[in-house]
Amino acid sequence: MKDYTGPLREDFQWQQLEKKTMARFAREVMLCNQIHDRGLLPLVAGRWGAEAMTTQAINEWMGSSPVYNSRIRALHGIEGDGVDVIMKGFQLDIGAPHMWLKFHFDVKSHDQGFFWLTSCGAYNGVRGMTGGDTAAETQICVHMEDPTFDATVMAVNRGARCTPVFRPPHGGEIPAAGPCRWEVSISDHIGLVEENPQTAMIEATRAGQFHFARPTATDDGLADYSGPFKRDFRLEDLSTAMLSVQLKEFALDVHLLQRSSYLSVQRNFGDDAVMELIGEHCRGMAPVYHARMRRLFGIEGDDMTAILKLLQLDHHFVPEYVRTGVQLIDEQHGRFWIEECEAIDDGSTSGILTGLWRGEVVGLEQIVQDINPRAVVTTGTAQGNRRFVYDIRIDPRREPVPVSSMSDIVGGFGLLTADLSEHIYSYDN
């Protein structure tokens, strides 16, 4: 499949996509981590202040990135503890979505290397929205990055650290070389840093322990990334079969980030705060990633076919970990369900799934209502293997639900318009 125009395919699977589309979809899923963050962090700041937002960002990334970094290495059979392995981790890290963050790499030795950004969507967004406020730039590029970068590299080698060569705040013009450059070094004499307690908590979940089967077909690309480090690695370098698994892994990594995010909210502000945020968070995120999915897959309209297609493509419902199904009854009525799977009852702080496991439609309804503001979601009757069933109806007499103002904040970082169609490197040598 090149796109998802035409009729609904109730048996649609992500791996049915052609390689070029799958690679672009994978970059879109990587970007969903940024959409998630730009939707949740302002809500935390609005309720509990800027300091709480910084703590939230540190907890969510330190709690999840070491876990999915280890998962990526296991999936690809990547062995070793050198800087080349660390750099591979950055290349496959949802925290560094390709083209949104234009990363470049130079591995000098086992113990030393550099990475730099010629453009950073997150930094550009903060700079544009604040007019170059140095306090805001310091918050995102210093207070948040220092502990989270170190947590990521320490997942490979406890003696590894990231040290800025230069970085924001710049005050005036952005350097010609880009906003930041970092050295990655390994030393036997460096003091060890205590791990964030959320890391072990996220790793122990079913999601953290869930693994996708490695494919065997390798006729059109790399079977995995266990070989030499490629400074210009692109997702298209992988075989179609491995890319299809990596795509699902990216979605699970975003899920782990969300779990860590809501776990931080729960630990700091209580379980009720989690439930209060889920609906508003989904309302803010959905317009942005739905617009991106529509452009990529050619999905138009607001009828039930569009609703069910976009649910099939939604990164919240990670294939295999969350087993879902859809049924088009008519253009005013559809059905969505979750079958017996690993995700069911996998902890209580999993974002949109939290409400579903509790028999509520919060989160799911907000996502559906972004596609059609007159849609209503109700819980249906479980049947056989279908543990959770939801009826979706479009009521033309219903007052449309207004678009959340948060969506403007999320999309205002350039996340709505960023072009991820091709991953382009610009090395001079």
pLDDT per residue as tens digits for the range 343-393 = 998 987 888 898 898 888 999 999 999 999 999 999 999 999 999 999 999
Query: Are residues 200 and 304 part of one domain?
Result: no
| pLDDT surpassing 80 at residue 301 | yes
Query: Are residues 200 and 156 part of one domain?
Result: yes
Query: Are residues 233 and 149 part of one domain?
Result: yes
Query: Are residues 63 and 193 part of one domain?
Result: yes
Query: Are residues 255 and 282 part of one domain?
Result: no
Q: How many whole angstroms separate alpha carbon 75 and alpha carbon 362?
A: 33
Q: How confident is the model at residue 192 (pLDDT cuts 50, 70, 90)?
A: low
Overall number of domains in the chain? 2
Using only C-alpha atoms, the chain has a radius of gyration, in whole angstroms, of 21
Query: Are residues 137 and 215 part of one domain?
Result: yes
| pLDDT surpassing 80 at residue 428 | no
User: What average pLDDT score do residues 313-340 get?
Assistant: 96
Q: How many whole angstroms separate alpha carbon 407 and alpha carbon 382?
A: 33
Does residue 210 lie within any of the structural domains?
yes
CB 254 within 8 A of CB 25: no
Query: Are residues 334 and 220 part of one domain?
Result: no
Other CB atoms within 10 A of residue 172 CB: 7
Which residues lie closer than 8 Å to 263 by C-beta, 6 or more apart? 59, 63, 198, 201, 202, 349
Respond yes or no on whether the N-terminal peptide bond of residue 179 is cis (omega within 30° of 0): no
Q: How many whole angstroms separate alpha carbon 242 and alpha carbon 237?
A: 10
In this predicted structure, what is the pLDDT of residue 265?
94
CB 155 within 8 A of CB 146: no
Query: Are residues 97 and 53 part of one domain?
Result: yes
Task: Give the type of residue at 189.
Answer: H
Helix axes of 304-312 and 271-297: crossing angle, nearest 10 degrees: 110
**Which is it for the CA torsion 422, 410, 337, 10, positive or negative?**
negative
Does residue 267 lie within any of the structural domains?
no
Question: Taking all residues of the chain, what is their mean pLDDT, rounded to a whole number?
Answer: 92
Task: Give the model confidence (pLDDT) of 132-162 as tens digits.
Answer: 788 888 888 888 888 888 888 999 999 999 9
Q: Can you give the residue range of the structural domain that contains 132? A: 15-261
> Three-state SS for 211?
coil
Query: Are residues 28 and 115 part of one domain?
Result: yes
CATH of the domain at 401: 3.30.1380
User: What average pLDDT score do residues 408-424 get?
Assistant: 89
Does residue 250 lie within any of the structural domains?
yes
Last residue of a domain, one of 209, 226, 261: 261
Other CB atoms within 10 A of residue 45 CB: 15
Q: How far apart are the first and last CA of the chain?
A: 36
* Token code pair at residue 245: 């698994």
In this predicted structure, what is the pLDDT of residue 86?
97
- Global pTM reads 0.95
Last residue of a domain, one of 261, 291, 319: 261
**Which is it for the CA torsion 322, 297, 233, 38, positive or negative?**
negative
Q: How many whole angstroms separate alpha carbon 412 and alpha carbon 416?
A: 7
Does residue 278 lie within any of the structural domains?
yes
Query: Are residues 330 and 205 part of one domain?
Result: no
CB 181 within 8 A of CB 165: yes
Does residue 215 lie within any of the structural domains?
yes
Query: Are residues 311 and 246 part of one domain?
Result: no
CB 65 within 8 A of CB 93: yes
Does residue 3 lie within any of the structural domains?
no
